[in-house]
Structure formats: structure tokens, C-alpha cells
Structure 1
Amino acid sequence: MGWTTVASPIGAVGLIADETAVRGASFGGRIPAGLPKIGGQALLERAVGQLNAYFAGELTEFDLPLAMAGSEFELKVWDVLKRVPYGETVTYGWVAAQAGDPLAARAVGTACNHNPIPIIVPCHRVVGANKTLVGFGGGLPRKRWLLEHEARVHMEQAFAF
């Protein structure tokens, strides 16, 4: 297992991977203490390239093997999040229904907060029932930036001739 950091418009993003999967991403470039830097280098390079392309507006869908540890419900929520289209938002209630428990909107919020691979697993695309920005482990300014970035790129692609 190894790690690296990526400079981005929303600050450093830390990435953790081994030879088989990306296992973590963090805002502020935070990496667990004691984790060796060497390991999973090929996958880390691929993930860095995709994140850079995402921030440049050139990539709208990540293609990386992911390994996520969580409860059964969290895994369902994260699977739903991976299918939310680029440039679109959904509500916590919608995600709860898709995950099989329409009354679990608050639990979806907790699962989003526990998402070990933000941006790549786009928990930033989940908004409140009234479409307001609520809750985000990376802070609301980052969530706002990510959503505005995706909306801008989505619009540019829609009008590209």
C-alpha cells in the first residue's frame, strides 16, 4: 500500500492505493500516520492522472478499481453514488430509496460522511430535499466548487459543436 498527494483547485487531495485498488482519498492531503509512501505506484499514477483530468474538465467518469470497507448499508449507498451522473445532483432521500430504505435519508448522510474515496465516489452530488447544500466531509465550500465545476463543464460539453 502506498500514497501520494495531488494538488487541486480545492486543495491537496491525498490518495491511498495498493496494487489492486484505490482505497482512500482525503481532503487536505491527509494520510494515516505510518503508511509507507511506496506501493501501488502504477495505480496511484493512474488515479492522479484521472483526478488531474477531472479538475481540468476533461474527465467526467472515473475508471479506477476501488476497494471500500463499510457496513452493508454504506456499501449500498456508495454503489448508488457511483451511478449519479456527472453534473447532476440527487437528494439524500432519493439515494436512500435507491439503496433500499426510503426512510433512511439521515443514514445516507452518515454514509456520505464516511465515504473513504470522495470525489471519485461522488458524495458531493447529494443535496438536501430542497436542493440546498448540506453536509460534506470536505466542507461546503469544496462541495460548492465541485458542483459548480461539474455544472460548468457539463454546460460546455452540451454546447460544444
Structure 2
Amino acid sequence: MNADSPAWEIRSAVRVISPVQPRKLAKVPFVELADGRLQGVVSSGSDIARVYVSSIAATTHDFNCSTNNNRPCGGLYGGPCKHLVALVDEAIVQYGLDRVARYLRVEVGEGERLIRKLEGGHEPAPAAMVFSRFLRHLAYLEVPESTMPVPEMHWFR
């Protein structure tokens, strides 16, 4: 790195892409397009202390939903549960329909819902890594604002 490097290359922060629309984080506090899946954390509708880790594979559209301690969702009977529907809806708010559809490799026509175009089946997927990333993101919310480097983010350099 030299003095002529762009400012973002010498900071321990990267530019965050703004959501397509503002999101309410109560129902789906974490959503990402990563590891070949649309995945995230969805709050339980019945128990404030429970969350579900939901995911849809990009190529096969296989899906999974389980609690953060790997208990399967009771709503996975023959198709996506309400947690997966909420995950897809919030991903569209966060990233836009075109980007999510492109990532999942599906064509969505005018007036069609993306969730209806996914034809995968239930396939167990690891939840621990997604939940761990969610907890790490929560921890960053508590880091005081600073222009000083954040040591655990040194690998961005």
C-alpha cells in the first residue's frame, strides 16, 4: 500500500451496499447470499427466544430450516415453511428481485413470486456457520465508531 492507494484500501472498513428498500429486522434479522445459498436467521413467530436458520441452495433449490440448535422446523412438510418464505421476501427487500433470482438461478416473470419458482426438496444443511456469522454481526453493532483499525478485520488489507 502506498499514499496513492484509494482510501478504502487503507481502512479496516469496507463500503456497505445499502439495501434496495429499508428492512425491518424483527422478523428476519440476518439475510445473506453466501456459500452458494440464500441463507439467514428468521425469528420464531411463537417463541421470542427461538430463531430458525433457513437456507435455499442456489443450483438445486433444496431448502432447509432448523432452530439454531439444529432441531428441524415443524413446517417443512412437502415444501418451504413460513420461515423460508419470510427469508426470500426479506432477501428481495435487501438485494432486489433481480439479484436474488440471478443468484438462485431462476427465471421470475412479471407478477410471479420467486418462492413459487423454487422446485427443490428438503435437504439438511449446516446451520452453525450461518448462526455464528449472525452472532458475529450482532457483536459488531456494539463496537464503538472509530477511524482506528479493528484488529480482527486486518485480513481486509
Structures share a fold, TM > 0.5?
no
Larger Rg: 2
- The answer to which structure has the higher helix fraction is 1
Structure 1 length-normalised TM = 0.26
Structure 2 length-normalised TM = 0.26
The answer to which structure, 1 or 2, has the higher relative contact order (CA under 8 A, 6+ apart) is: 2
